[in-house]
Amino acid sequence: MPAIKNGTVIYAAHPEGDVEPDVHLKYVEGEIDLENVPLNGGTLLKAIAIGSDPYLRYRMRDPSVPHFVPPFELGKPIENAGVALVVRSDDPEFQPGDQVYGMLEFSEYCVYPGSRPLAQARPLRKIERIPGQPLSVYTGTLGGPGMTSYQGLKGFASEKVKTSKTMFVSGGAGPVGTFVIEYAKVMAPHLKIIASAGSAAKVEIMKGCGADVAFNYKEQDAFAVLEEHGPIDIYWDNVAGPTLDAALVNFNSEGLIIACGAISQAAHKDGSIVKHFEEVFQRSLTVKGFLLARGESAHVLAGFFDEAVPLLKEGKLTSREHRYNDLRFAAQALRDVHTGGNTGKAVVIVDADLL
């Protein structure tokens, strides 16, 4: 078989602010010989769908700048978690035709694990199709966003939710936020949930997930909303910045902050000053920051699929996707997750026929 086209998204330049399509990320076309490309003990995968997540922006930096994830290499493909079909395999655990989840290059075809740092650190795993769901559900509700939400809530708040009255979720319309709202209601149906996002459409999403109070932070002041509907006992923080400050001054004593992300700061080198940090000790607040599959809360992930899959089938957990139907739109997908242009899990569809 002759070599065939293999579209790929490469990292082209370090951004200072927002990601610009065709500047910082570029789509290029090369060729791949599916029958003869060396596997070196790995597997040859055909990508089906690849997620676009906020943390990818942290990997778009000069290698001299330290951070919690390894940087992308200029001129090389970017990677993220996605679903794929096994084409060839040197690994006895996988056979051609297997459907799998793992860290993929943004390419039509790639060798796993290859030389990519996160792929080498995270094992490939087989997945099964969930009735009524596309395979891309493994990039969202049953993937990294769902696992992140589960780890944070189950690992840090399983007891706290039982005695709490009010919880606040920022970034509440994204795949992490919607899972947090829905799963918190499973854990504690009595819990009043306040949630924020950046558009009227996202407010409706949060209401549909079970938020008791949902607001557009671009039109309503977070401090005023929390003052009216709080005080809060738990804050799930996806954004940091001014929203974190509004939460700090509207807490009950002995409250819990689960620090999951800081999307408001991801594209800004200097960050922002937390004006009300003194509230942490004055109100005896506990702050728990974490990374997926790391630290003291990671052990709860052993039960993730056993609990999440039945909840998804019962409709207690849901899945929403904003699809970008070609690798050429991968840069736009990443830009959108930082500017609010997506509604639902941003996922790049590489082969819609295999979904």
CATH number of this structure's domain 144-299, picked from the four choices 3.40.50.720, 3.30.420.10, 3.40.50.620, 3.30.70.1450 = 3.40.50.720
Contact (Cβ atoms closer than 8 angstroms) between residue 354 and residue 135: yes
Contact (Cβ atoms closer than 8 angstroms) between residue 22 and residue 70: no
Helix axes 175-187, 144-157, angle to 10 degrees: 40
HEC per residue, 186-202: HHCCCCEEEEEECCHHH
Domain formed by 4-139+319-354, architecture? Alpha-Beta Complex (3.90)
Per-residue pLDDT of the chain (355 residues; tens, 9 = 90+): 679 999 999 999 999 888 999 999 999 999 999 999 999 999 999 999 999 999 999 899 999 888 888 999 999 999 999 999 999 999 999 999 999 999 999 999 999 998 877 877 788 999 999 999 999 999 999 999 999 999 999 999 999 999 999 999 999 999 999 999 999 999 999 999 999 999 999 999 999 999 999 999 999 999 999 999 999 999 999 999 999 999 999 999 999 999 999 887 765 555 567 889 999 999 999 999 999 999 999 999 999 999 999 999 999 999 999 999 999 999 999 999 988 899 999 999 999 999 9
Q: How many CA atoms lie within 13 A of 246 on its CB side?
A: 25
The pLDDT score that the predictor gives to residue 272 is 66
Q: Which residues contact 3 (CB under 8 A, 6 or more apart)?
A: 31, 32, 33
The pLDDT score that the predictor gives to residue 56 is 94
Kindly report the pTM of this predicted structure: 0.93
Contact (Cβ atoms closer than 8 angstroms) between residue 297 and residue 154: yes
The pLDDT score that the predictor gives to residue 338 is 87
Is residue 77 reached through a cis peptide bond, with omega within 30 degrees of 0 on the bond before it? Answer: no
Q: Start-end ranges of CATH 3.90.180.10 in the chain?
A: 4-139+319-354
The pLDDT tens digits of the residues spanning 181-192 come to 999 999 999 999
The pLDDT score that the predictor gives to residue 285 is 98
Strand partners, 169: 195, 236
Q: Start-end ranges of CATH 3.40.50.720 in the chain?
A: 144-299
Q: Which residues contact 36 (CB under 8 A, 6 or more apart)?
A: none
Quick check: helix, strand or coil at residue 158? coil
The pLDDT score that the predictor gives to residue 269 is 53
> Whole-angstrom Cα distance, residue 311 to residue 300?
16
Q: Which two tokens stand for residue 159?
A: 């007891």
The pLDDT score that the predictor gives to residue 264 is 76
